[in-house]
Amino acid sequence: MFSGLLIILIPLVVGYLIPLRQTAALKLINQLLSWIVYVILFFMGISLAFLDNLANSLLAILHYSVVSIVVILLCNIAALLWLERSLPWRHQHQQEKLPSRIAMALESLKLCGVVVAGVALGLTGFSFLQHATEASEYTLIFLLFLVGIQLRNNGMTLKQIVLNRRGMIVAIMVVASSMAGGVINAFILDLPLKTALAMASGFGWYSLSGILLTESFGPVIGSAAFFNDLARELIAIMLIPGMVQRSRSTALGLCGATSMDFTLPVLQRSGGLEIVPAAIVHGFLLSLLVPLLMAFFSA
């Protein structure tokens, strides 16, 4: 019962206990994380190919992911618009010229191509590919160990987090409204409550949520979580420039955990330097909560 919980928490905690200050080592860890994500998503695609009734499974993945992202984002937007009306975010920033959003979206979509390549290889039926699930599990343990090191050594202090009130509040609203969306999805999709809540706990961190939920609930739920969270990032990239002038809290909240890395340049160009501290705190808190909440709901 607790094997999935231990797979997530033990390497994460061990990694978090390791202090690391060398810039070169931290850069290497970031590069390794990028490469490992591609490897595990490739394994996930191979595992999908070995499912019985693959066509039906793909339809189920599409159904789960589309319904899930629509419901969760609607809950997020409703909560964040209410926050903006109740506690307006004052600013005087004039929007700058933005980098190509299409180029950023295509960069994200490369991950979909890796999953598809894995499915294509898996359909060849080679017997040794049946060990892809075990290989994915061992690679996942190493990835979580590196994530723990990264979280420990990202430079964020408790004082910085507590002092940035807006980043904390937006993160809390995103978590609460996503959990509400997860409850709604459980009824709409006829899923166990814990499964739906685990899917709602990705907050856009597709490279981790898809992998973790594949280990806990199988490749159908894991793949649905991956596409759900990938869609969140793509939607955020497209909506931030128009949304940030109307509701900065909503623009930030749409990014989820990616506000401290991938979507940060778009937020900075659209919302100015003053939005950056809130974005980093918001992204850090959600990134910390993703593995913890998924471990809790997967137990």
Tell me the pLDDT tens digit for each residue of 79-117. 999 999 988 877 554 545 555 656 666 666 777 788 888
- Chain segment 109-160, per-residue pLDDT in tens: 777 788 888 888 888 877 778 787 778 778 878 888 888 887 777 766 656 6
Cα–Cα distance, 263 to 237 (Å, whole number): 7
List helix spans (H) across 17-53.
23-49
Cα–Cα distance, 243 to 89 (Å, whole number): 13
122, 44 contact by CB (below 8 A): no
Exposure of 47 in the CB half-sphere (CA atoms within 13 A): 24
Cα–Cα distance, 253 to 125 (Å, whole number): 43
205, 257 contact by CB (below 8 A): yes
Quick one: which of 281, 274, 288 has its CA closest to 163?
A: 281
How many domains are there within the chain?
A: 1
Exposure of 123 in the CB half-sphere (CA atoms within 13 A): 9
Share of the chain above pLDDT 90, in %: 25
The helix (H) or strand (E) run that includes residue 15 is helix 3-16
DSSP state string for 103-162: HHHHHHHHHHHHHHHHHHHHTT--GGGGGHHHHHHHHHHHHHHHHHHHHHTS---HHHHH
Place of tokens 């019962």: 1
Instruction: For the chain, give the mean pLDDT.
Output: 82
- Chain segment 271-281, per-residue pLDDT in tens: 777 788 888 88
- Chain segment 26-50, per-residue pLDDT in tens: 888 888 887 887 887 888 788 877 7
Cα–Cα distance, 151 to 172 (Å, whole number): 19
pLDDT of residue 190 exceeding 90, the answer is yes
**Residue 133 burial (C-beta neighbours within 10 Å; 0-12, 13-18, 19+):** middle
pTM for the structure as a whole = 0.80
Q: How many CB atoms lie within 10 A of CB 196?
A: 27
Domain region containing 267:
3-298
Place of tokens 């049946």: 130
Cα–Cα distance, 168 to 284 (Å, whole number): 10
Quick one: which of 172, 166, 230, 224 has its CA closest to 198?
A: 224
Cα–Cα distance, 140 to 36 (Å, whole number): 8
**Res. 1 pLDDT band, cuts 50 70 90:** very low
DSSP state string for 193-243: HHHHHHHTT-TT-HHHHHHHHHHHH-HHHHHHHHHHHHHHHHHHHHHHHHH
